[in-house]
Structure 1
Amino acid sequence: MKIHTGFLAGVVALSMLPAVASAQEAGQLQDSTQWTQAPAGARQALATPQQQAAPPAMTIDERHDGWVAIHHSPDHGLHTDLCIAGAENEVLMVRADADSLQLRSADDHWTLTPGSKGDMTVRIGAYQHVFHMQANDATTLSVDLKPKEMAALLDGMEQGQNASVQYGSRTVVNMDLTGSAPVLDRFRGCAETNHFADLGRAPDARATPF
Structure 2
Amino acid sequence: MPRHLILTAGLLAGLTCRAAYAVPLVPGQDFQREQGEYKSAIDGQVGGWTAGRLLDDQGRTMLCVATDDRQRLTLTANRSALQLRIDDPSWSLAPGVIYPMTLKVGPLAQSFEMETDGATTLRADQIEPTDLIALLDAMGKASRVNLDQSGASERMIALAGSTKVLSLFRACATRAGFANLAE
Indicate whether the TM-score tops 0.5: yes
User: Among the aligned pairs, what percent are the same residue?
Assistant: 31
1:131-150 to 2 correspondences below 5 Å: 131-144=112-125, 145-150=127-132
* Counterpart Cα distance in 1 of 2:109 and 2:94: 27
More strand, by proportion: 2
1:7 corresponds in structure 2 to 6
2:45 aligns with 63
AA partner of residue 124 (structure 1) = V
CA distance in 2, matches of 1:79, 1:6: 19
Determine the C-alpha separation between the residues in 2 that align with 1:30 and 1:6. 13
Q: How does the TM-score come out when normalised to structure 2? A: 0.82
Extract unaligned runs of 5+ from structure 1. Answer: 16-23, 33-50, 202-210
Question: Quick check: which has more Rg, 1 or 2?
Answer: 1
Distance 1:63 1:119 in 2: 30
1:91-148 residue CA offsets vs partner (Å, 9 max, x unmatched): 2111100001011111334332332111111111111111111112223211120000
- C-alpha displacement of 1:60: 1.3
**CA RMSD of the aligned region, Å?**
2.1
Structure 2 unaligned runs (5+)? 8-21
Asked whether the equivalents of residues 67 and 87 of structure 1 are also in contact (C-alpha less than 8 Å), the reply is: yes
Q: When you count helix as a share of all residues, which structure comes out higher?
A: 1
Distance, in Å, in 2 between the alignment partners of 1:99 and 1:89 is 25
Matching residue of 2:168: 186
Q: Which residue of structure 2 lines up, in the alignment, with residue 103 of structure 1? A: 84
In structure 2, the residue corresponding to 1:57 is in which secondary structure?
strand
Q: Which has the larger displacement, 171-180 or 108-117?
A: 108-117
Q: Give, as a single letter, the amino acid of the residue that structure 1 aligns with 2:29.
A: L
Amino acid at match of 2:109: Q
Q: Is the counterpart of residue 123 in structure 1 residue 104 in structure 2?
A: yes
TM-superposed CA distance for 1:55, in Å, is 2.1
The answer (yes or no) to whether the contact 1:115–1:137 under 8 Å persists in 2 is no
